[in-house]
Copies of this chain bind each other. A is one copy, B any other.
């Protein structure tokens, strides 16, 4: 197996014929597979089925403080749910609002209100700036970028490495520009690179001087307990912000979407008590209470953080062979050919593949034409513009193992094909 970058034009052309033939053969099979999103697979979903038996018509349906979970009331969640998430996130129950559904909805809502009304300590609504700005570590999560694009923030790319965002750049930007209002962070098993922020990065985020008094870190701890190979340690951002005298700087988000049933879970925002008081006053305009029955169902199923961790160990067992299969195939087929690099994460939902520059769109399109839908190339960057056109997010969780190996086989062929095209065009 030869490294493509060492081949002569003639050898490249010969190889192209072989790979093109392999691709055409694959295309003829008529695959139909969606690997575009980080969706749990069947085996993972089964893990939460017993939760459906937790609440019945015979159950006591009062929270531990006597709140009737069947009725209106309690804007910030039942006490046992607040405690469970507080323990999970390393904050106090007073620093938590438990809502419903998904953290994405809460994040959208938080940006929306900051845009029209500002956050605690804002001199004016964020929309009142000529153009408010948001820092976007890349590659990152497309749905974050959609939110800030919807509200017309200018999004600024911040390069990520294995320790998190480039803090020199972040510090410089936030110190100078009052219109920079926030930064999107997925601090643990980052979407999509799987990086976990280093202690230094967390401390610098907590301590940095910001021109904006109302700057906020949007800390989307979506994969707080979603390890696959190893539970990465992550410094407690709330503690660090408090130590730095910036207790109000961080909004933490999390949910059970990839712990139990996506879309039918419980989601939270955690922040300083002052932030929480401010937010509660705002959300009193939009809700009387969230789904307390579903909170009760979740808390009684898990009981405590250990219960969640046990569940996550089972998720990890299901996911590990899938991640192995993808990475093994890359090592076997792509590594020796010198047609890209990839990141094997310790947890989370994604494997990031970096193609040769200018190949990502082509690879995604080739896969699609052969029946395998990947996350759109560019989705990992604001405005869907990946400057090098080299980043592909692979989500191995949903397909069956058989489907996955077929999909990866096709992916590898597509990477080779696109790389050959680029090499021949040069």
Contact of A70 with B100 in the complex, beta carbons under 8 Å: no
- The residues of B that contact A151 with a CB separation of less than 8 Å are 116
- The residues of B that contact A290 with a CB separation of less than 8 Å are 101, 263
Residue-wise, chain A 275-292 has the 8 Å CB interface mask toward B (1 for contact) of 000000010111111111
With A56-B52, A72-B39 already in contact, the answer to whether A261 and B101 are too (CB < 8 A) is: no
User: In the bound complex, what is the Cα–Cα distance between A330 and B285 (angstroms)?
Assistant: 33
User: In the bound complex, what is the Cα–Cα distance between A147 and B288 (angstroms)?
Assistant: 13
- The residues of B that contact A286 with a CB separation of less than 8 Å are 104-105, 108-109, 147
Contact of A291 with B264 in the complex, beta carbons under 8 Å: yes
Asked if A59 lies at the interface with its beta carbon under 8 angstroms from chain B, I say yes
Contact of A71 with B261 in the complex, beta carbons under 8 Å: yes
With A112-B112, A116-B116, A146-B285 already in contact, the answer to whether A72 and B262 are too (CB < 8 A) is: yes
- Minimum CB–CB distance from A153 to chain B (whole Å) comes to 12
- Minimum CB–CB distance from A411 to chain B (whole Å) comes to 22
Interface residues of A, CB < 8 Å — how many? 53
Contact of B147 with A72 in the complex, beta carbons under 8 Å: no
Contact of B289 with A263 in the complex, beta carbons under 8 Å: yes
The A interface, classified by DSSP as helix, strand, loop or mixed, is loop
Output the nearest chain B residue to A284 by Cβ-Cβ distance: B146
Copies in the complex: 2
Asked if A66 lies at the interface with its beta carbon under 8 angstroms from chain B, I say no
User: In the bound complex, what is the Cα–Cα distance between A151 and B70 (angstroms)?
Assistant: 31
Contact of B292 with A264 in the complex, beta carbons under 8 Å: yes
Most interface-central of A37, A70, A146 (chain B CB within 10 A): A70
Contact of A287 with B71 in the complex, beta carbons under 8 Å: no
Asked if A318 lies at the interface with its beta carbon under 8 angstroms from chain B, I say no
Output the nearest chain B residue to A265 by Cβ-Cβ distance: B291
Contact of B285 with A147 in the complex, beta carbons under 8 Å: yes
Asked if A235 lies at the interface with its beta carbon under 8 angstroms from chain B, I say no
Q: Which A residues from 91 to 119 make CB contacts under 8 A with B? A: 100-102, 104-105, 108-109, 112, 115-117
User: In the bound complex, what is the Cα–Cα distance between A115 and B286 (angstroms)?
Assistant: 15
User: In the bound complex, what is the Cα–Cα distance between A100 and B117 (angstroms)?
Assistant: 25
- The residues of B that contact A288 with a CB separation of less than 8 Å are 37, 102, 104, 143, 262-263
- The residues of B that contact A262 with a CB separation of less than 8 Å are 70-72, 288-289
Contact of B285 with A150 in the complex, beta carbons under 8 Å: yes
User: In the bound complex, what is the Cα–Cα distance between A71 and B102 (angstroms)?
Assistant: 12
Asked if A57 lies at the interface with its beta carbon under 8 angstroms from chain B, I say yes
User: In the bound complex, what is the Cα–Cα distance between A101 and B50 (angstroms)?
Assistant: 23
Asked if A49 lies at the interface with its beta carbon under 8 angstroms from chain B, I say yes
Asked if A14 lies at the interface with its beta carbon under 8 angstroms from chain B, I say no
User: In the bound complex, what is the Cα–Cα distance between A45 and B292 (angstroms)?
Assistant: 14
Asked if A405 lies at the interface with its beta carbon under 8 angstroms from chain B, I say no
Q: Which A residues from 5 to 41 make CB contacts under 8 A with B? A: 37, 39-40
- Minimum CB–CB distance from A267 to chain B (whole Å) comes to 11
Q: Kindly identify which residue among B108, B127, B287, B294 contacts A264, using a CB–CB cutoff of 8 Å.
A: B294
Contact of B101 with A291 in the complex, beta carbons under 8 Å: yes
Asked if A120 lies at the interface with its beta carbon under 8 angstroms from chain B, I say no
Asked if A201 lies at the interface with its beta carbon under 8 angstroms from chain B, I say no
Asked if A154 lies at the interface with its beta carbon under 8 angstroms from chain B, I say no
User: In the bound complex, what is the Cα–Cα distance between A172 and B419 (angstroms)?
Assistant: 68
Interface residues of A (CB under 8 A from B): 37, 39-40, 45, 48-50, 52-53, 55-57, 59, 68-73, 100-102, 104-105, 108-109, 112, 115-117, 127, 143, 146-147, 150-151, 257, 261-264, 282, 284-294
7 A/B residue pairs, CB under 8 Å, sorted by A: A100-B100, A100-B291, A109-B286, A147-B286, A150-B285, A264-B292, A291-B291
Identify the 5 closest CB pairs spanning chains A and B, nearest first: A108-B286, A49-B57, A264-B293, A263-B289, A72-B262
Extra contacts besides A39-B73, A100-B291 (14): CB < 8 Å: A39-B72, A45-B70, A45-B71, A49-B57, A70-B261, A70-B262, A102-B287, A108-B287, A112-B112, A115-B116, A117-B150, A146-B284, A261-B293, A264-B294
